[in-house]
Amino acid sequence: MTDTIDLSGVFPAMCTPFDEDEQIDFETLQTDAQRLEEAGVDGLVPVGSTGESATLTHDEHVEVVEAVIDAVDDVPVIAGSGSNNTREALELSERSADAGADGLLLISPYYNKPEQQGFVDHYETIADAVDLPQIVYNVPSRTGQNIEPDTAVELAAHENIAGYKAASGDLGQIGEVVERTRDEDFAVLSGDDALTLPVLSVGGTGTISVSANVEPERTCAMVGAALEGDYERARKLHHELGPLFRTLFIETNPIPVKEAMEIRGYGPARMRSPMTRLTDENRALLEDVLADLEDEPTAVADAEASP
């Protein structure tokens, strides 16, 4: 592998904004990327599940990656390039690399439910062919199959497989992957905002985060405090963000986060079918959570002021 990425810190899983005709709103996308970079995030992850990659064409997928790369100055861009078809994932990965992505995030093959050897073959095929740091993404609630710790450890030995996005909800399993890859140059990142602090506590390096789209400063402050060993400050921020963590998953992601982005003025809440808008009842709840966060700005200021 010729290049590496520091996979510690906060990496927002970006939304893909759409205009009234359900076309990609590239101006808003680039403005949002710049907002997040200015807020202090450590990298950006476009066209993942939160970016509605399932409803984008391959050409749109690459155009979003290119637009985000062009918008930012000094943060790595990790392109979602996974698929349940190994050939398709390889094509998306190669095109993302050609577009200038710094790394790749690859969801495990969904719906097919491959056996563990199928996961190994899938990821190693792409890692052998594309010379970029790659993150294996385990999210059984979406894919229907779990990447077992033995499989994650085997994949960690590949020089181009640099990390593991953990969204199984099983902290014991996540901790085992951390424990068994300590001798590898391998990062374990939380893929579940509510578990980011616990994952960091067992040796995780950061988070690929939904909430960071809405509260990047607080999320960065929380993760930064934990990585510095200041768990008292990290817990304070975790508890401040707790209502947001829960509300952003009150309906299927990215429905609530896109609504939150609209409430905050960061981008439209429009979705491509079959995704729908947040219900009125849940929007009212989300508005209350966001208002409460706006009324409590002190934790970030305290975190930034601490040595």
Q: What is the pLDDT of residue 296?
A: 73
Could you identify the residue written with the tokens 């996974």? 82
Instruction: Pick the more confident residue, 34 or 301.
Output: 34
Task: Clarify whether 137 is annotated catalytic.
Answer: yes
Q: For residue 4, what pLDDT band results from cuts at 50, 70 and 90?
A: confident
Contact 189, 207 (CB under 8 A): yes
Task: Clarify whether 113 is annotated catalytic.
Answer: no
Instruction: Report the pLDDT averaged over residues 46-50.
Output: 97
Q: Single out the catalytic residue among 110, 123, 165, 236.
A: 165
Asked whether residue 1 carries a pLDDT value surpassing 70, the answer given is no
Q: Single out the catalytic residue among 123, 137, 164, 266.
A: 137
* pLDDT, tens digit, 9 for 90 and up, residues 277-289: 999 999 999 999 9
Asked whether residue 301 carries a pLDDT value surpassing 60, the answer given is no
* CA–CA dist 174, 278 (Å, integer): 31
Q: For residue 297, what pLDDT band results from cuts at 50, 70 and 90?
A: low
Structure tokens belonging to residue 229: 């060993």
